[in-house]
Amino acid sequence: MSAAERLRELLSGPDILATPGCYDALSARLIERAGFPVAFMSGFAVSASRIGMPDTGLISYAEMVDQGRNICAAVSIPVIGDGDTGYGNAVNVQRTVRGYAQAGFACVMIEDQASPKRCGHTRGKQTVSREEAFARIQAAVDERNAGADILIMARTDALATEGLEEAIHRATTFASLGADITFLEGPRNEDQMRAFCKAVPGPKMANLVEQGDTPLLSPQKLQAIGYKIALYPLTLMLAGIQSMENALASLKRGESAAGIADFPHLREIVGFPEYNEAEKRYAGD
């Protein structure tokens, strides 16, 4: 069963999918080891970790797909990949979908922001016209239907630029074009979340950013509203930053860092025991 097939199976199940965001192979492996069924490669987090720059369209397609290839190879669970705007026009969207499928992603997210895009929970966003937004998703769906083994998640940021009615119209049209999952970015209250879930058919994703715009509802509440995926895109990165800054402060004071993982645990996570066993198996007499 391919990654896309596994994700389709999970989406057809009864439970909401709590989905942490990853940004490299190690964070993806931690998500899998913790027992989560799906991971999400966050564009914000990859831009921060790989180039140390904001999620404002500065990171390239090649950098994102390369990071994704390493992430997907490190785990056996399905990974959803942030494909931003598709990196150009509709033809570029098709290349992005094809490249993400070849990298091993189960699903690619394509959005309707104007380029250069920016994080959905920041200010100054702009969205493209309806026609261009629909063309992007149609191109993505056509590439999937032509044989790319990947699901399509269609995201709209139109709530921030044109209001809820336009955002729901776009999401509903995305679903009618054949998008497998829809995503309304940045609802500010439960009423907006309920209106979206009531109006738009098919699986829907909620994006839960700590100190972001959307209420941090429990997975159970989100499922009752009508969501299928509860995404936590930055939780691991925020937790890691806090821990690393605490450790650095201890070292700066001339102290040993407290509250850190054991070295043997790290060796286990990255696969030293399996490597050593394989090395023994192929060692000569």
User: Minimal CA–CA distance to 217: which of 190, 184, 237, 240?
Assistant: 190
pLDDT at 117: 79
Mean pLDDT of the chain: 95
The C-alpha atoms of residue 201 and residue 178 are separated, in whole angstroms, by: 11
- Name the β-bridge partners of 19: 231
Measure Cα distances from 123 to 110, 120, 162 in Å: 19, 8, 14
284: pLDDT confidence band, cut at 50, 70 and 90?
confident
- Averaged pLDDT, 106-129: 85
User: Does the structure show a pLDDT above 80 at 60?
Assistant: yes
Q: Side chain identity at 189, as an amino acid letter?
A: N
- Averaged pLDDT, 193-207: 98
CA angle 217, 218, 223 (to 5 degrees): 95
183: pLDDT confidence band, cut at 50, 70 and 90?
very high
| Contact predicate 109/81, CB 8 Å | yes
Cβ neighbours for 240, distance < 8 A, ≥ 6 positions apart: 27
pLDDT at 15: 96
| Contact predicate 182/175, CB 8 Å | yes
pLDDT at 266: 96
Cβ neighbours for 221, distance < 8 A, ≥ 6 positions apart: none
Q: Spell out the domains of the chain, with CATH numbers in brackets.
A: 3-242 (3.20.20.60)
Q: Tokens 């696969």 label which residue?
A: 271
User: Does the structure show a pLDDT above 90 at 158?
Assistant: yes
- Averaged pLDDT, 180-187: 97
| Contact predicate 124/171, CB 8 Å | no
pLDDT at 88: 92
User: Does the structure show a pLDDT above 80 at 122?
Assistant: no
pLDDT at 125: 84
DSSP, collapsed to helix, strand or coil, labels residue 72 as helix
- Averaged pLDDT, 165-177: 98
The C-alpha atoms of residue 35 and residue 200 are separated, in whole angstroms, by: 30
* Percent of the chain clearing pLDDT 90 (strictly above): 94
pLDDT at 120: 58
The C-alpha atoms of residue 41 and residue 103 are separated, in whole angstroms, by: 12
| Contact predicate 98/143, CB 8 Å | yes
User: Does the structure show a pLDDT above 90 at 119?
Assistant: no
Q: Side chain identity at 115, as an amino acid letter?
A: S
The C-alpha atoms of residue 29 and residue 32 are separated, in whole angstroms, by: 5
- Averaged pLDDT, 131-160: 97
- Averaged pLDDT, 211-225: 95
Tens digits of per-residue pLDDT, 88-105?
999 999 999 999 999 999
Other beta carbons within 10 angstroms of residue 154's beta carbon come to: 27
The C-alpha atoms of residue 276 and residue 139 are separated, in whole angstroms, by: 46
- Averaged pLDDT, 139-150: 98
115: pLDDT confidence band, cut at 50, 70 and 90?
confident
